[in-house]
Chain A
Amino acid sequence: MDIESLKVNEYKKKVKKGYMWAIFSALLWGIWYIPGTVIWTLNPFDTMSIDIGLSHGDTAALIVTAILISAFSAAMIIITLGLWNLVTGKFKEIKRTAVQFKSCSKWFILAAVCGGPLAIFGSYLAMGFVGGAFAAVASLLFPVVSSIVANRWYGEKITRRAAIGIFLIIIGGVSIYIGGMVTEMMAEGVRWLGYAGGAMAALGFGLEGAVAGKGIDLAEPDAGLYVRFLAEATMWWFIIIPILLILGFPMLTYALAVFEPLTLLVLVFIGLSFGYCYAACYKAFPLIGVGRGQGVANLYGLCAVIFILLFMGDFPGWTLLVGGALCLIGSTVMYSENVSEEAIRV
């Protein structure tokens, strides 16, 4: 076998692995909406939202509860990703990545800002206010954001096929939002914060995709991801929660009350599903490219709807189904792009 054939075989093997990681990411991301939804009903979060609702109003209560859930989610992901790095033997890389601030870790810290307080927090808001299926489908818009940002920021060309995909995803997104809001306007009034949370999730995950793409160019993905979650947990536990404490919210009382077997168990499954979904996603990007990686990982919307239907029996409304289907077709169009059509960063 000559060198060219070896190179082709190696490339094919890498692409195959890349798709495998993107599918793992879609499955784990999809199933995350189950523990992410049920955690709202468990104590201390349930009691917390009721108590704070009585003193500060329902909206403030749900926002503050979503912050505490996001903070515990980040802490749990640090533990589960610690196990991941132990198995893959990447602990030394973490320190090496973290200390290289200028070239490397600044991108992961920025990714943490976009992914944590914007995307993950927005997802929990959407799950708490509207529901798991809506939260999952609303985030399907994220490849549109990352493509536009990558185009404007580091000149990644948007091909005709990618533009068609973006158009389909936007139409799907509009159908998801408008359909749900019109139904609610006719019934009980719109849960604006839940819809804002869905938009925050799409914007945050999209921005994170573009920012992380810069970091992964230089760093080992597992180590980079660990740095990203360390930064996110630092933001929640050392900046946002202390600010809420100063504002008079009893955050520590409820944070210390989390040590209850069922609550901890659900948090562990949040850590496993979302932590490993991220690990798989960060592994897929360097192997098949951010565009294709996001295209396949976007199957998480379909996975979420299937898992929610199987385990909870919730059938999404027809506007969600039509919108979700359009988003999936759009993602498939984006991902099926020919390699030669793909643009190179300038």
Chain B
Amino acid sequence: MVQTEVAMEAYNAFWVNGLVPYSEYLWMITILVISLLALWQARVFIRDF
């Protein structure tokens, strides 16, 4: 199902008041970075214990 114009407007409206620039992308990058760090630490944890 394609996104309707109303859905895209509502989605884009979330990021209009964001305090950081490029909020619409930065939240995804933040999740990716924390997740990758957690995965790496899980690997380190297996090696150490």
Interface residues of A (CB under 8 A from B): 13-14, 17, 20-21, 24, 27-28, 31, 34-35, 37-38, 41-44, 46-47, 80, 83-84, 87-89, 222, 257-258, 260, 262-263, 265, 269, 272-273, 276, 279-280, 283, 307, 309-314
Chain B residue nearest to A50 (CB atoms) is: B6
Answer whether A43 and B23 are a contact pair too, CB < 8 Å, given A84-B42, A273-B35, A313-B16. Answer: no
A311 contacts B35, CB within 8 Å? no
A87 contacts B35, CB within 8 Å? no
Nearest CB on B from A250, distance (A): 13
Would you call the interface of chain A mostly helix, strand, loop, or mixed?
helix
Q: Which residues of A contact B39 (CB under 8 A)?
A: 83-84, 87, 276
Q: Which residues of B contact A279 (CB under 8 A)?
A: 38, 42
Nearest CB on B from A40, distance (A): 9
Q: Which residues of B contact A34 (CB under 8 A)?
A: 27
Closest A-B pairs by Cβ, 4 of them? A313-B17, A257-B1, A41-B10, A311-B23
Would you call the interface of chain B mostly helix, strand, loop, or mixed?
helix
Nearest CB on A from B1, distance (A): 4
B7 contacts A43, CB within 8 Å? yes
- How far apart are the CA atoms of A80 and B31 in the complex, in Å? 13
Q: Which residues of B contact A222 (CB under 8 A)?
A: 42
- How far apart are the CA atoms of A34 and B30 in the complex, in Å? 11
Contact with A along B13-26 (1 / 0, CB 8 A): 01111111001001
Chain B residue nearest to A86 (CB atoms) is: B39
Chosen A-B contacts, 18 in total, with CB atoms closer than 8 Å, are A24-B34, A38-B11, A41-B10, A84-B39, A87-B42, A88-B42, A88-B43, A258-B1, A260-B2, A272-B35, A276-B38, A283-B42, A307-B30, A311-B20, A311-B26, A312-B23, A313-B16, A313-B23
Q: Which residues of B contact A47 (CB under 8 A)?
A: 1, 4, 7
A24 contacts B14, CB within 8 Å? no
- How far apart are the CA atoms of A28 and B32 in the complex, in Å? 10
Q: Which residues of A contact B49 (CB under 8 A)?
A: 14, 17
Chain A residue nearest to B30 (CB atoms) is: A31
Q: Which residues of A contact B2 (CB under 8 A)?
A: 43, 260
Contact of B38 among A258, A280, A307, A314 (CB under 8 A): A280
Q: Name the residue in B3, B4, B31 with the highest tally of chain A Cβ atoms < 10 Å from its Cβ.
A: B31
Q: Which residues of A contact B38 (CB under 8 A)?
A: 24, 28, 276, 279-280
A46 contacts B10, CB within 8 Å? yes
Q: A46-B7, A87-B39, A311-B14 are in contact. List 19 more A-B contacts (CB 8 A).
A: A13-B48, A17-B48, A28-B38, A31-B34, A37-B14, A38-B14, A41-B14, A42-B3, A43-B7, A47-B1, A80-B35, A88-B45, A260-B2, A262-B11, A265-B28, A272-B35, A283-B42, A283-B45, A313-B19
Contact of B46 among A35, A88, A262, A263 (CB under 8 A): A88
Nearest CB on A from B26, distance (A): 7
Chain B residue nearest to A20 (CB atoms) is: B41
- How far apart are the CA atoms of A38 and B3 in the complex, in Å? 13
Q: Which residues of A contact B14 (CB under 8 A)?
A: 37-38, 41, 311-312
Q: Which residues of A contact B16 (CB under 8 A)?
A: 313
B34 contacts A87, CB within 8 Å? no
A260 contacts B3, CB within 8 Å? yes
- How far apart are the CA atoms of A152 and B39 in the complex, in Å? 36
- How far apart are the CA atoms of A21 and B38 in the complex, in Å? 8
Q: Name the residue in A89, A273, A307 with the highest tally of chain B Cβ atoms < 10 Å from its Cβ.
A: A273
Contact of A260 among B1, B20, B31 (CB under 8 A): B1
